[in-house]
Amino acid sequence: GTTINLSDYAPPSYLVPSVALTFRLHPNRTIVKAVLDVRRHPDTAPGDELVFDGDGIELVSLRLNGAPVDDVEITPDQLRIAGVPHEPFTLEIETAIDPEANLALSGLYRSNGVYCTQCEAEGFRRITYFPDRPDVLSVYTVRIEAPKADAPVLLSNGNPGAAGDLPDGWHFAEWHDPWPKPSYLFALVGGDIVGAFDRFTTMGGRDVKLGVYVERGKESRTGWAIDSLKRSMKWDEDVFGREYDLDVFNIVAVSDFNMGAMENKGLNVFNDKYVLADPTTATDTDYANIETIIAHEYFHNWTGNRITCRDWFQLCLKEGLTVYRDHEFSADMRSRPVRRIAEVRLLKSAQFPEDGGPLAHPVRPTAYREINNFYTATVYEKGSEVVRMLRIVVGDDAFRAGMDLYFDRHDGDAATIEDFLACFEEASNRPLTQFALWYHQAGTPQVTVETDYDTAKGRLTLTMHQSVPATPDQTDKEPMHIPIAFALFRPDGSHFPIADQSDLVKNGVIHLTKRRDTIIFDGIEEQPVVSLLRGFSAPVTLDIDQPETDRIFLARHEDDLYTRWQALDRLATDTILASYRQSNGETLPASATSLIGLYGEIAGDETLDAAWRALALTLPGETTLGREAGLNVDPDAIHVARETFLAAIAERHATAFADLYDSLLSDESYRPDAPSAGRRALELVLLDYLTVSEADGGRARALFDRADNMTEEAGALEVLMLRQPESGETATARAAFENRHGDNPLVMDKLLGMIARIPGPDAPGRVLQAMTHPNYIETNPNRVRALVASFAGANPSGFHRPDGSGYRLLADVIGRVASQNPQLGARLATHFRSWKGLDAARRDAAHKTLSDLRNMRDLPLDVRDIIDRTLS
């Protein structure tokens, strides 16, 4: 495949101001008639040849201004017409496509008998020939025809128009979207689906009809999605002043989907995992995910749809910004520190390893071979962190003014990161040239800090140094603008007041802009405890020379709860890694004692939010520990080290944890709100500790039996499965679970995930065994992700077997999946990304498997691109 470079960007030669599409739906031969109003771009000088994108479609007929076209060339990925007029003209293109055979889930496909589309990034060209790029914006009018029995519901973007019956049991529906949009936002749905409806009145008084459509029989599980949607619409008005702009807003849940959801204008299409919820089938985590993803897609209506991207290099313009917006929404709906902890955990477990490995790329990349491989944690999660930092750098007021300016100035545009940043430069009246490096330089910056306190002078000196590691194609890095929020604590837990120091220290933030800098604080009359990177103010790794007692102090007294968690997490990480280094994880360092005591204090502190306590008691994950362990990592020893520490906490606090656990059990009926979810989270974390030292898993079994909701039912089963995979209690509970939920694939996915996460040498065998289960269907991405991605991504000791069996298993699945669904295959292949950090045996095994994969014939470009970069 060829490489696409940002530097080669040129505006499109032809524009398509309006499109009329007619679909005659058929499972194997859907006919698409496109009538395009085409004109030359006013600022370019195209030749007389018109070149449109296409992918795997059959051209049935072609007319230009009503006449057949002679001089046309069709290649596998293009339609070329020579000698087109200079004046505006009409193209009528008729194509035929096979939705049933479309297992790539891109373009028009069928999911459980429901016709649906997925056009981002380059799926529209699988429907008709078109300039399938985000800077070509068109007004769409759509007519859908289908047999009424197969597809009683026919949906597309925008507002509904005429609808009615046709001969032979067919019917039609028309839709018109007045807002010009790029082709990637086009959507169509047709099927025997059922809608649940509600209304929302916008701040400007527009009455909007809301619909959530699901497969027949699932309509009782739509309530939470609608509730989340209404809260999202209100929040975007209140916080960003953004109002909805159509008469209807529809969401459709489908069961086969490559990602979480898609923000098509007025017609969001969702993976049903992120719509369907009721207390007996969805966990608290499912409820929280649905809330945030519904919000995310809704927020795209302004950040993505009204203002779209000029080209795919600008993907973070809509994704990073929209993730930032959904983070803020969730923080307002729930507990801000608890949400922040979840965000940082995800960033560190998914984005940091990406940024530190062979797949590293800037938030705004400059080259790609396959754009689908750039929907990454870096573009999304780090992209969101960059917006968060931007707000710190310009301040709250200028941030809001900059956003207002952006919405105002670029409404209707296909914009760039430069356009976005210019709005904040103007609103804050300061240059953001150095700040912009966050978009351009890959790699996680490292900040090291030396502290010096002079008692006689009452002076604290911080010497800070930053460096950005080399990443693929970027060796020499410039120093970045790193905002480091901080506080200086007195021994009694109060703060030393901090005066601003021009641009260096402002509002409790150190702005590190040089490679090395020294910051002096005077008037500090006693030795302070320094708290840095409060709220995780920048996505960096921080290394500070700080005594253990100061770290414990922060884990006990930091009054920002996110930052208190961060201090605790750091202590736990250092303790586990010390044990790993000193004894392969068999014994704990002496310093562990006071930290172990602290876990007891925190667990029992009723003044703290239960959700926060649950996170505080959750030890750092093995993936993050492995990354922090450096090179030549042995994931088995990491697993042992974490378990050793966990068991020591469990043993020390056995009685207190048991009493607390008993006090948390509740007879109230299930509610999905944050406080009740927090109570359950704490209960389940404690259950895990208590089960470590139990012989029979009786407590978990008892919770499993009494549970009236999926959070406790699946939580108890997971404790049993992971702690006692071979016990009789586990077998009985698992059989009961399958019996109860065997007909619900989304619930069975939870079981597949548990099987995949059982640690240790037997993991590959167990996963292979689970693949023979009738529920495991390899054309459905949710099934594959639940089993195989959980195994490769969330079970380091099970996946990284030194004999290579885990790698071969993954490679075999990739081989099978890739030919049907290249995007899914490529995503699975990213689980090899950290292979260079492993010990020699594992490295050799991974290298061999990757080389074999690369040699596979007919490997699609998506997968080849990942493998090539991973090996380089």
Stretch that binds ligand HT7, among 15-23, 61-69, 255-263, 720-728 (CB under 6 A): 255-263
**Residue 258, interface with ligand HT7 (CB under 6 A)?**
yes
Stretch that binds ligand HT7, among 205-213, 261-269, 596-604, 735-743 (CB under 6 A): 261-269
Binding to ligand HT7 (CB under 6 A) within 768-827 occurs at 823
Q: Which is nearer to ligand HT7, 31 or 259 (CB)?
A: 259
By DSSP bridging, strand 516-521 and strand 207-215 are unpaired
Q: Which is nearer to ligand HT7, 262 or 828 (CB)?
A: 262
Find the shortest distance in angstroms from Cβ 97 to ligand HT7: 18
Residue 375 touches which member of ligand HT7, Zn ion, none, C-beta under 5-8 Å by kind: ligand HT7
Interface size with ligand HT7, residues (CB under 6 A): 15
By DSSP bridging, strand 248-254 and strand 267-271 are parallel
Q: Which is nearer to ligand HT7, 120 or 355 (CB)?
A: 120
* Contacts with 655 (C-beta within 8 Å, 6 or more apart), sequence order: none
* CA distance linking residue 626 with residue 572, whole number of Å: 14
Residue 259 touches which member of Zn ion, ligand HT7, none, C-beta under 5-8 Å by kind: ligand HT7
**Residue 381, interface with ligand HT7 (CB under 6 A)?**
no
> Residue for token digits 């030890």?
619
Strand partners, 72: 81
Other Cβ atoms closer than 10 A to 507 = 11
Residue 734 touches which member of ligand HT7, Zn ion, none, C-beta under 5-8 Å by kind: none
Stretch that binds ligand HT7, among 295-303, 521-529, 553-561, 618-626 (CB under 6 A): 295-303
Site string for ligand HT7, 102-121 (x = CB under 6 A): ----------------x-xx
Query: Burial code of 557-583, b = ≥16 C-beta within 10 A, e = fewer?
Result: bbebbbbbbbbbbbbbbbbbbbbbeee
Residue 354 touches which member of Zn ion, ligand HT7, none, C-beta under 5-8 Å by kind: none
Q: Which is nearer to ligand HT7, 134 or 837 (CB)?
A: 134
Q: Which is nearer to ligand HT7, 50 or 97 (CB)?
A: 97
Find out whether 839 and 633 touch, Cβ atoms under 8 Å.
yes
Q: Which is nearer to Zn ion, 117 or 573 (CB)?
A: 117
Q: Which is nearer to ligand HT7, 415 or 686 (CB)?
A: 415
Q: Which two tokens stand for residue 222?
A: 């739509």
Closest CA to 260 of 420, 343, 95, 375: 375
**Residue 256, interface with ligand HT7 (CB under 6 A)?**
no
Q: Which is nearer to Zn ion, 322 or 384 (CB)?
A: 322
Burial class of residue 771, CB neighbours in 10 A (0-12, 13-18, 19+): middle
* CA distance linking residue 238 with residue 235, whole number of Å: 5
Find the shortest distance in angstroms from Cβ 141 to ligand HT7: 24
In Å, how far are 642, 725, 827, 832 from 755, measured between CA atoms? 20, 9, 21, 20
Binding to ligand HT7 (CB under 6 A) within 548-567 occurs at none
Residue 233 touches which member of Zn ion, ligand HT7, none, C-beta under 5-8 Å by kind: none
In Å, how far are 24, 210, 237, 597 from 267, measured between CA atoms? 20, 10, 20, 53
* CA distance linking residue 602 with residue 572, whole number of Å: 14
Q: Which is nearer to Zn ion, 730 or 823 (CB)?
A: 823
Find the shortest distance in angstroms from Cβ 379 to Zn ion: 10
Element (H, E) at 234: helix 223-240
**Residue 262, interface with ligand HT7 (CB under 6 A)?**
yes
The three-state secondary structure class of 209 is strand
**Residue 319, interface with ligand HT7 (CB under 6 A)?**
yes
Residues 283, 308, 351, 372: which binds ligand HT7 (CB under 6 A)?
Answer: 372
* Contacts with 656 (C-beta within 8 Å, 6 or more apart), sequence order: 600, 603, 604
Binding to Zn ion (CB under 5 A) within 308-327 occurs at 319, 322
Stretch that binds ligand HT7, among 60-68, 293-301, 668-676, 814-822 (CB under 6 A): 293-301
Interface size with Zn ion, residues (CB under 5 A): 2
Stretch that binds ligand HT7, among 3-11, 253-261, 482-490, 845-853 (CB under 6 A): 253-261
Closest CA to 107 of 129, 86, 90, 91: 129
Binding to Zn ion (CB under 5 A) within 251-280 occurs at none
Stretch that binds ligand HT7, among 258-266, 331-339, 524-532, 709-717 (CB under 6 A): 258-266
The three-state secondary structure class of 216 is coil
Other Cβ atoms closer than 10 A to 601 = 13
Residues 297, 622, 718, 749: which binds ligand HT7 (CB under 6 A)?
Answer: 297
Backbone angles phi, psi at 220, to 5 degrees: -75, -5
Q: Which is nearer to ligand HT7, 69 or 359 (CB)?
A: 359
Residues 133, 296, 325, 481: which binds ligand HT7 (CB under 6 A)?
Answer: 296
Find out whether 675 and 610 touch, Cβ atoms under 8 Å.
yes
Degrees to nearest 5, angle at CA 485 with 484 and 487: 125
Find out whether 316 and 419 touch, Cβ atoms under 8 Å.
no
* CA distance linking residue 691 with residue 397, whole number of Å: 50
Find out whether 74 and 53 touch, Cβ atoms under 8 Å.
no
Q: Which is nearer to Zn ion, 724 or 823 (CB)?
A: 823
DSSP string for 816-869: HHHHH-HHHHHHHHGGGTTGGGB-HHHHHHHHHHHHHHHT-TT--HHHHHHHHH
Residue 121 touches which member of ligand HT7, Zn ion, none, C-beta under 5-8 Å by kind: ligand HT7
Closest CA to 754 of 740, 733, 739: 733
Q: Which is nearer to ligand HT7, 121 or 615 (CB)?
A: 121
Find the shortest distance in angstroms from Cβ 256 to ligand HT7: 12
Find the shortest distance in angstroms from Cβ 274 to Zn ion: 12
Find the shortest distance in angstroms from Cβ 308 to Zn ion: 12
* CA distance linking residue 354 with residue 347, whole number of Å: 10
Residues 375, 424, 661, 835: which binds ligand HT7 (CB under 6 A)?
Answer: 375
Catalytically active residues are 297
Residue 236 touches which member of Zn ion, ligand HT7, none, C-beta under 5-8 Å by kind: none
Find the shortest distance in angstroms from Cβ 20 to ligand HT7: 25
Find out whether 156 and 142 touch, Cβ atoms under 8 Å.
yes
The answer to whether the peptide bond before residue 121 is cis (omega within 30 degrees of 0) is yes
Residue 72 touches which member of Zn ion, ligand HT7, none, C-beta under 5-8 Å by kind: none
Find the shortest distance in angstroms from Cβ 3 to ligand HT7: 19
Binding residues vs ligand HT7 (CB under 6 A): 118, 120-121, 258-259, 261-263, 296-297, 300, 319, 372, 375, 823
Binding residues vs Zn ion (CB under 5 A): 319, 322
